[in-house]
Amino acid sequence: MRLKTLLTAFAACAVALPGAALAQDPTTGEPQIVVIDQAELRPFPIAIVGFTGQYGDDISNVIRGNLRRSGFFDPLNPAGFTERPGLGARPTFPAWTGIGAQAVLYGGVTPRADGRVDVGFRLYDTYRECQLVSYQFTATAEQWRRIAHKISDVVYQRMTGESGFFDTRVIYVAESGTQLEKLSRLAIVDQDGYNPVFLTQGDEVIMSPRFSTSNPDEVTYVALGRDYSRIYLYNLSTGRRESLGQFDGQVLAPRYSNDGSKLAFSIIRGGNTDVYTIDLNTRELRRLTTDPGIDTSPSFSPDNSMIAFTSDRSGSARIYVMRADGTGQRPISRGGGLYTAPSWSPRGDLIAFTKQQGGQFHIGVMGTDGSGERILSSSYFEEGPSWAPNGRYVMFARQTRGGDTRLWTVDLSGRVVAQAGYEGRGSDPAWSPLLDQPPADLGFNQGPDSCPT
Amino acid sequence: MKTTSLFRLTLVGASVLALAACSRPAQPEPGLPDGPVVTNPDTRGPTTGGGTVGGGGIPAAAGSVEDFAVNVGDRVYFDLDSYEIRRDAYPRLDAQAEWLRRYPNVMVRIEGNADERGTREYNLALGARRAESVRSYLIQRGIPATRIDVISFGKERPIAEGSTEEAWARNRNGRTAIVSGAPAR
């Protein structure tokens, strides 16, 4: 797959530029060696035709926005399209190669007898003249936005070979007011910035919201009042909100284990901050760190066997890892500067972090043994990386000097740094897992003209 | 005609008195007639009798929250990335301890604060160390630990606006907040 090769090349390029990659010649289909670097790389031109039927054009618009923001696609301007294939028809390929489209997506919304709609679509490779995928989602017409995200995920997955991340939400701290009279509210929004909903009133300072990766309806966050700090467990679908309990000390930095059975967090006692875990069923509390330094911001590895955290026990803040029972604590970050806010990648191979060095703040990634550190984004102030469920992007908060804080994303190559879909003021973003399972085995043997790979 | 002028003068006098008493910025009182006010130089209005009226804040009542904040000082400041009590903070903390010994029913909460140049969770931990430094010192100066609560606000509650060294220095502080028991209001 052409784009998959490019994605691999992005990661390689960030380490050693320029990188060489295998790609296919668009005219002959033969493999060729191309040399690319970050500056020369062009996003993949794709034609996304307005779907037919109710909300059809809206669905196509959402898909275009999603794919464009990913940085790997260049959705072409529909004004240049010369045909609108029906769902049952094949595209006229020269009509698309003629405008530079290397793939074309089209589809339609069809009412069903039960009042819902079928949203079917086809994706074709215009040069190889074969079908990459066809699929159909069924839902109520009002769920058109959600369907558009799921179609975006299918296209992304088929073109890149990696799972998508568009059918997700972001929980964050919405900010308003002035620097000295700041109002902070827990809020949730679709990953593309639509449907923001406030979940608290603003009478408490909200910090560190996190999704349960096993259930995107479960979140945890810290509420800081005048004289208390609480960790809440909050179910978004039932509205049930529960305090984790009273602890002897101030609590902060909660994160779910990936099976949802435990929470890792910190308690401050006598000025000393340590990492604990609590079993959410038995409420058994276990203390994992005991040194007099700051130990906080725990983050589980995907298999829950390890925890990354930040500690200044050596004199300055560094990233550490330990086993989930607290044994085997060791520093992994190797560079100078202050390393905080680690976040273990859902793929398991990388830890994202915030680094303060040289009067600037940086978002970076390193291997789980601290090797191969790469800075993805730098500015006056940025913090708190949170991974997209496919492990290819992180979202973080960036503050301009003397200005507001907003949500940004960067991809693993560091090439696609952009403000997130949500453009309002906010901080502490946390990316949800995919809201439900994507369809499996897409694109293979779906018709007589299915592409061979 | 004469009645009307006198009526106006009386109103002006009353409003000036009212304004002086509240020490608000002078602005037209609602309900006052518009247009120029005619004053007769031979007739002294009720406001001009004994010269200007001075004003100012009333000193804080001894033992009040305001007394503590103004006359003792409720905040001490910290160096960058440090939670060590600075030499210049000792006189103020000594005065806080002295004040708290004088009013033994007062309960306090030490609030630890950090500047904006750090990540959120780490700064909470940093602020907690500052609060603990203040707490430890007050205990050392004879204040029972049971009278002192602590909380860290991290970088969430700055007192100085802007992104300057000066603002950051002010925002790195520990505040001794009176929770209850102050004998005066």
Would you state the pLDDT for residue A11?
38
Contacts of A178 in chain B (CB under 8 A): 161
Would you state the pLDDT for residue B48?
53
Separation of first and last alpha carbons in chain A: 7
- At B50, the pLDDT band (50, 70, 90 cuts) reads low
DSSP bridge partners of A215: A212
Asked if the Cβ–Cβ distance from A228 to B156 is below 8 Å, we say: no
Which residues of chain A register pLDDT less than 70? 1-41, 443-445
- Comparing CB atoms, the residue among B120, B133, B161 nearest residue A207 is B120
With tokens 């996003």, the residue in question is A43
Would you state the pLDDT for residue A444?
66
Would you state the pLDDT for residue B26?
38
Would you state the pLDDT for residue B53?
80
Quote the mean pLDDT of chain B: 80
Would you state the pLDDT for residue A302?
97
- Comparing CB atoms, the residue among B122, B157, B163 nearest residue A297 is B122
Q: How far apart are CA A264 and CA A335, in angstroms?
A: 26
Q: What is the pLDDT of residues A313-325, one digit of tens each?
A: 999 999 999 999 9
- Comparing CB atoms, the residue among A270, A294, A427 nearest residue B125 is A294
Scan residues 57-96 of B and list those with Cβ closer than 8 Å to A: 83
Would you state the pLDDT for residue B54?
79
CA distances from residue A58 to A49, A53, A54 in whole angstroms, order as listed:
11, 10, 9
**Searching chain A, which residue's CA lies closest to the CA of residue B164?**
A402
* The pLDDT of residue B56 is above 70: yes
| Architecture of the structural domain at B65-180 | 2-Layer Sandwich (3.30)
**Which of A175, A179, A356 to substitute to test the interface with B, most B CBs within 10 Å?**
A179
Would you state the pLDDT for residue A14?
35
Cα of A294 to nearest chain B Cα, Å? 6
CATH of A169-431, one of 2.120.10.30, 3.40.50.2300, 3.30.420.40, 3.30.300.30: 2.120.10.30
Asked if the Cβ–Cβ distance from B119 to A383 is below 8 Å, we say: yes
Q: How far apart are CA A386 and CA A342, in angstroms?
A: 9
- Record: fold of A43-160: Rossmann fold (3.40.50)
Contacts of A294 in chain B (CB under 8 A): 122, 125-126, 129
Contacts of B135 in chain A (CB under 8 A): 271
Tell whether B133 lies on the interface with A, counting CB pairs under 8 A.
Answer: yes
**Domain residue ranges in chain A:** 1-41, 43-160, 169-431
User: Which residues fall within 8 angstroms of residue A355, CB to CB, at 6 or more apart?
Assistant: A335, A337, A338, A339, A340, A361, A362, A363, A364, A375
Would you state the pLDDT for residue A1?
43
Asked if the Cβ–Cβ distance from A229 to B83 is below 8 Å, we say: no
Would you state the pLDDT for residue A447?
75
What are the start and end residues of each CATH 3.30.1330.60 domain in chain B? 65-180
Asked if the Cβ–Cβ distance from A271 to B132 is below 8 Å, we say: yes
State the ipTM, two decimals: 0.88
* The pLDDT of residue B2 is above 90: no
How big is chain A by its Cα radius of gyration, in Å? 23
Q: What is the pLDDT of residues B68-88, one digit of tens each?
A: 999 999 999 999 989 999 999
Half-sphere exposure of A417 (CA within 13 A, CB side): 17
State the average pLDDT over residues B161-179: 96
Q: What's the full length of chain B, in residues?
A: 185
